[in-house]
Chains A and B, each alone.
Chain A
């Protein structure tokens, strides 16, 4: 099991450019989460899919951020018109929901985004 795969591992963009981040969840996991991590804000929730359907996007900056899950094997996070404050490590996590409460989220290594 390769774990959650995220690509690219590092991305540098210029202010105003678009960035697309990719996540491949663990095979068989039906829930996918996106978080971002900065020194100042810590680890913050962005959005969540279950069985490819969007469930909760309460953490997403609405204007420039969007996420999709076109099939069960990958999800994308797109940031349009990137700004320096978008610089962060973007983490994807997946889980196999166990209604009994053992819903461990497994994190990928993250994509480090730097906006210059």
Chain B
């Protein structure tokens, strides 16, 4: 049974800081790795995804995956107050197939103070 853990549980950073969020998973057969962002009272929204080892950068956000270490991370450069939200990592074994469900971590609550 897949177990997904996130750290830290919560984080307060000043505006402009670089923020790092971590996620570990237990099943080495995991194939797809996602970060979702959920603002208070809103729907989770896909932020970034990665499917192979390495790094992927989109604007201020970078995702890094190390399958051998069962670990992936999200880095936010120049954090903004609008980045304040619950960040959820998620893992799936499949895409579009019979095992496409997402298994989520419990989230990291990020607060960016101006």
Is B98 interfacial (CB 8 A cutoff)? Answer: yes
Most chain B C-beta atoms within 10 Å of own C-beta, residue among A41, A58, A103, A109:
A103
Flag whether A22 is at the interface (Cβ < 8 A). Answer: no
Q: Which residues of A contact B43 (CB under 8 A)?
A: 3-4, 91, 107-110
Within 8 Å CB of B49, what residues of A?
Answer: 102, 104
Contact of B95 among A97, A109, A110 (CB under 8 A): A97
Assess whether A105 is in contact with B42, with CB atoms less than 8 Å apart: no
Q: Which residue of B lies closest to A106 (CB)?
A: B46
CB distance from A99 to the nearest CB of B (A): 5
If A56-B98, A97-B96 touch, whether A103 touches B46 (CB-CB below 8 Å) is: no
In B37-81, the 8 Å CB interface with A consists of 42-46, 49, 51
* Size of interface on A: residues with Cβ below 8 Å to B: 32
* Total interface residues in chain B, CB < 8 Å: 25
| Contact residues, B90-111 vs A (CB, 8 A) | 92, 95-107
Q: Which residues of B contact A104 (CB under 8 A)?
A: 46, 49
- Cα of A100 to Cα of B97 in the assembled complex, Å: 11
Instruction: Tell me, yes or no, whether A101 is within 8 Å of chain B by CB.
Output: yes
In contact, B106 and A103 (Cβ under 8 angstroms)? no
Q: For A59, what are the chain B residues with a Cβ–Cβ distance below 8 Å?
A: 101
17 more CB-based (< 8 A) A-B contacts, given A43-B104, A103-B32: A3-B43, A31-B96, A33-B100, A42-B105, A42-B107, A43-B44, A43-B107, A56-B98, A56-B99, A56-B101, A98-B95, A102-B95, A103-B96, A105-B102, A107-B36, A108-B43, A110-B43
